[in-house]
């Protein structure tokens, strides 16, 4: 269906119009709805199926939320009277019945409806009090400013431990955890003390910390650099080698440089 509709539009509409409409509609729908959710859903489903030794059937190429981009693109040309493709119209009707995804098997399909609850902030999946996405059967996904996070960080944030913070190696997720807990509680749980500080070129304070106690597994102190991203103004706690005792060495290390070679003229 898509190939036939595409050929009709290509014959009747200039490439320039197609590019403009496609960029504004298709890319935005794909990026916002699909990219944020698909990887997390597939990862969770795959882990459950693999653990159960069940047969895994992949989701189809067509008949899911992935199709909203190109369907909305050609819907524009349907509305202005350029095309009126019967099979496309039927496919759009099926898609708009509320299909999120499906597994197509011989003789029948397993269909998942669209989520019944979605929360966003600044056009990103986000909820401070519960799931950002929830399906009718109770399946939930949690997000903080567009970053997928464990449900515990929202539902049981009072039970978050020092070990969980240390064990989180993803800088974006650790930033989310710091924002959820608040800087003071985050620092308190880590049990850190300041060993060096300075102000960067944008007048943001940068601080190097060391844990007061040695890590029970590593048998060493852990060092963190608290820095502010010059482009987003987001604050990060970066884990750095415990041989570093200077904040500029810590910042330089995050760019694979030293304090002597890390000398940006302008940071944006």
Q: What is the pLDDT, as a whole number, of residue 108? A: 86
How many C-beta atoms lie closer than 10 Å to residue 228's C-beta?
A: 15
Which of 55, 61, 59, 38 lies closest to 110, judged by CA?
A: 59
In the block, tokens 């493709």 appear at 85
How many C-beta atoms lie closer than 10 Å to residue 184's C-beta?
A: 8
What are the φ and ψ backbone dihedral angles of 108, each rounded to 5 degrees?
-160, 165
pLDDT digits (tens, 9 = 90+) for 145-160: 999 999 999 999 999 9
The shares of helix, strand and coil residues in the chain, as percent rounded to the nearest 5, are 40, 20, 35
Query: What angle (nearest 5°) sits at the alpha carbon of residue 167, between those of residues 161 and 170?
Result: 120
- Token output for 173: 């997720």
Q: What is the pLDDT, as a whole number, of residue 19? A: 53
d(CA 63, CA 73): 16
Q: What is the pLDDT, as a whole number, of residue 27? A: 55
Q: Is the Cβ–Cβ distance between 95 and 111 less than 8 Å?
A: no
Helices 86-95 and 68-79 pack at an angle, to 10 degrees, of 130
Q: What is the pLDDT, as a whole number, of residue 177? A: 92
DSSP H/E element including 18: helix 15-29
d(CA 127, CA 233): 21
**pTM of the complete model:** 0.63
Q: What is the pLDDT, as a whole number, of residue 26? A: 53
Q: What is the pLDDT, as a whole number, of residue 139? A: 93
Furthest-apart CA atoms within the chain: distance in Å: 71
Per-domain residue ranges of the chain = 2-111, 118-148, 160-253
Which of 128, 127, 131 lies closest to 116, judged by CA?
A: 131
In the block, tokens 């190109």 appear at 70
Q: What is the pLDDT, as a whole number, of residue 13? A: 57
Q: Is the Cβ–Cβ distance between 245 and 238 less than 8 Å?
A: no
Q: What is the pLDDT, as a whole number, of residue 193? A: 92
DSSP H/E element including 240: strand 235-240
Q: What is the pLDDT, as a whole number, of residue 163? A: 87
Q: What is the pLDDT, as a whole number, of residue 214? A: 84
Ranges in the chain, pLDDT < 50: 14, 17
Chain-centre distance of CA 72, in angstroms? Answer: 24
CA distances from 204 to 179, 213, 229, 267 (A): 17, 28, 9, 12
């Amino acid at each position: 269906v898509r190939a036939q509709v595409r050929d009709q539009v290509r014959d009747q509409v200039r490439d320039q119009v197609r590019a403009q409409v496609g960029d504004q509609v298709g890319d935005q729908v794909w990026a916002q709805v699909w990219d944020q959710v698909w990887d997390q859903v597939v990862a969770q489903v795959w882990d459950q199926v693999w653990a159960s030794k069940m047969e895994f059937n992949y989701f189809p190429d067509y008949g899911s939320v992935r199709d909203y981009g190109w369907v909305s693109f050609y819907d524009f040309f349907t509305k202005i009277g350029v095309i009126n493709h019967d099979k496309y119209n039927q496919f759009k009707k099926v898609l708009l019945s509320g299909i999120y995804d499906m597994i197509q098997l011989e003789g029948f399909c397993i269909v998942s409806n669209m989520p019944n609850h979605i929360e966003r902030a600044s056009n990103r999946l986000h909820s401070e009090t519960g799931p950002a996405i929830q399906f009718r059967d109770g399946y939930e996904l949690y997000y903080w400013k567009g970053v997928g996070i464990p449900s515990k960080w929202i539902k049981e944030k009072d039970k978050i431990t020092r070990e969980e913070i240390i064990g989180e190696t993803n800088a974006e997720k650790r930033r989310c955890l710091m924002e959820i807990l608040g800087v003071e509680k985050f620092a308190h749980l880590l049990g850190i003390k300041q060993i060096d500080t300075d102000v960067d070129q944008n007048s943001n304070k940068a601080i190097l910390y060391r844990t007061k106690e040695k890590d029970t597994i590593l048998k060493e102190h852990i060092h963190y650099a608290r820095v502010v991203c010059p482009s987003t103004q987001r604050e990060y706690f970066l884990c750095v080698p415990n041989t570093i005792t200077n904040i500029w060495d810590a910042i330089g290390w995050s760019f694979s440089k030293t304090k002597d070679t890390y000398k940006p003229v302008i940071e944006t």
